[in-house]
Structure 1
């Protein structure tokens, strides 16, 4: 009997030991898998979403929006594009950079405000769509959060449209609605110029003249708040890059949906008025939004005695993570919108380098899940929430649209290109 008991005990011990060995192997494989996927491999698992690329404006300035002879496959041999100081993007480099989705930006200069900003913006939306149609094997038009995943599964770059600057809607909610119907999924409330209803970040620049500094504390007017609420109703992302500090606060205070900063960095590390103050980072976290870090050298490194590097960008990413949390940081490079990029992030092929460097960071440590959030899951979460708020408002709002008009007095003297509807002749 004792021999049988001993055999049973030995057998039981062997089974337990075997189970422990199997568990250890599985655990090691799991941890090894995470380590193996903790760098650039992340970009094969989830879509890398860049919040801002100004290629369409370069198409306007260099090609007059003509695509017939535009060889997007590889622009390194193009004499015009290769010598362009703000050109960092082509298909070859996008594929090398493992980009999963891109907000292509319909931007027109502030000098078009009160003139033909709407018409020019429509032309930029048009050229974005034509570019996508010209390269269907690599680009796919996307207008929903789920559409980003759909394009990613097809190994195409999900191509979304953002409009950069509230001057592009000419202070008209009807124009905002029509742009949404054309596929626009974010509006940056201002560019570098104030609109009649929102103040831009240059008012926070202490070196400005006294006349401009009188507007320092300005944010959103009542009409500006209505613009934000109409964007909530439509399901359009509210983008607060470029706006003044007070406009950020006003917009986050009034919005019913999470906001984004499509291409902004941390003010605490580089005190440029285009960057985001810590108090707003805290507000953004409470709001559920995301700050997509800008790579532009002058926004990530204020020390002009040395070149900006990928490590400066990482410092901004880590700062925003520290203040707002890992759920509220993303990527918004600003490629093709600026003329200087950090060493290590010279063009759109370099995203993997950034993620490899982050995977090597110990303070803080970036886990696989953290890197997935940074790459794109945070933006997708925000986008889905914006869509959910839209759907909820559609069921609860008594009036289907905001029909407010900008008060004429808010235009000041900028009325030459507007018809006076109250005129008798």
Structure 2
């Protein structure tokens, strides 16, 4: 079955290991595995870990150059897209598609001209925060509070700069991604924007109580906005520590919960491959067939599975890129 994956960190792996290629590698995603899996469109995130890099902007630009080199070298298999018309053309010609995204807002340094710069480079989705506070807002993780000089997880959301950035993103046609963001950040995005947005790689907190997962309140509101939430394959976000349930069964449980809370139209895929630890059960992108079978075994119809695998994301991209 066709599939669209809203999140992976494969380009960071290739950037860190320049002897490797996107075409074929030992990572969780490469182009040959992607083609074998039925995945027609992969979001490639430029993941900038603030605890490891000195200059987020420089690192992000270097990663984009890496991405561009890999796509140019493999133009027989994959082409970048910035519109759904380009995606349709790639499908008609039997090519894979790549969507350039960013995971971390710090390279913007809070500047609207930087946002325009990255848009002009082809970025069509931005994860506002990773695990650290930046100029745009706060994550759903512990952060250093300068006022109290302590680690805190107090619910702070978008900054004033962040509000300006998300409003400009809507104007440009760049999709807002709230994965990693605090609950309040998601509420602030809802309050200051009007278009659908995504949580590209997040699960349900009711099923697995982890701060990176979404509470029911926000699942429902993202769904009501017409947004899509990408199911994350990371073990710690799927099942509580000590739970020995299979990962596929766990993912199906999250998907059932999303369907019950937000409806089938809010669910997508966001593997987080090459940003998560290897697991034998979900070894690489080809494991998607296990998820399809798990959903069928749980009584999901072909229509529902198609929505989860690609149609919901196609709908959202068509809306947001227009």
TM-score (norm 2): 0.93
Return the offset for 1:276: 0.8
List aligned pairs for 1:191-340, cutoff 5 A.
191-203=130-142, 211-213=150-152, 216-306=154-244, 308-340=246-278
Give 1:112 shift: 6.3
Taking structure 1 as the reference length, what is the TM-score of the superposition? 0.71
Distance across 1 between alignment mates of 2:21 and 2:160: 46
RMSD (Å), alpha carbons: 1.9
Q: Distance in 2 between matches of 1:336 and 1:307?
A: 23
Q: Residue 105 of structure 2 contacts residue 135 of structure 2 at CA under 8 Å; is this kept in 1?
A: no
- The 3 A distance-change label for structure 1 pair 176 and 308 is farther
1:353 counterpart residue number: 290
2:303 maps to 1:369 = yes
Rounded Cα–Cα distance in structure 2 between residues aligned with 1:249 and 1:346: 34
Distance 1:132 1:304 in 2: 41
The structure richer in helix per residue is: 1
For residue 360 of structure 1, report the CA deviation from its aligned partner: 2.4
Partners of 1:297 and 1:308 within 8 A in 2: no
| Aligned-partner Cα distance in 2 for 1:210–1:269 | 33
Query: Is 1:147 the equivalent of 2:73?
Result: no
Separation in 2, partners of 1:96, 1:307: 27
- SS of 1:49's partner is strand
Structure 2 CA distance for partners of 1:345 and 1:296, relative to 1, 3 Å? same
Larger Rg over CA atoms: 1
Does the alignment pair 1:109 with 2:49? yes
Q: CA deviation at 1:379?
A: 1.1
The answer on whether the counterparts of 2:21 and 2:70 sit within 8 Å (CA) in structure 1 is no
Q: Which runs of 5+ in 2 are unaligned?
A: none
The number of residue pairs the alignment matches comes to 318
* Counterpart for residue 70 of structure 1: 20
Q: Provide the rounded CA distance (Å) in 2 between the counterparts of 1:383 and 1:347.
A: 25
Distance 1:307 1:361 in 2: 15
2:32 matched residue in structure 1: 92
| 90-99 or 288-297: bigger deviation | 90-99
Counterpart of 1:124 in structure 2 is: 63
Unaligned runs of 5+ in 1: 1-41, 64-68, 76-81, 389-425
SS of residue paired to 2:97: strand
Q: Structure 1 residues 169 and 97, CA, compared in 2 at 3 Å: closer, same or farther?
A: same
Contact persistence 2:129–2:136 (CA under 8 A): no
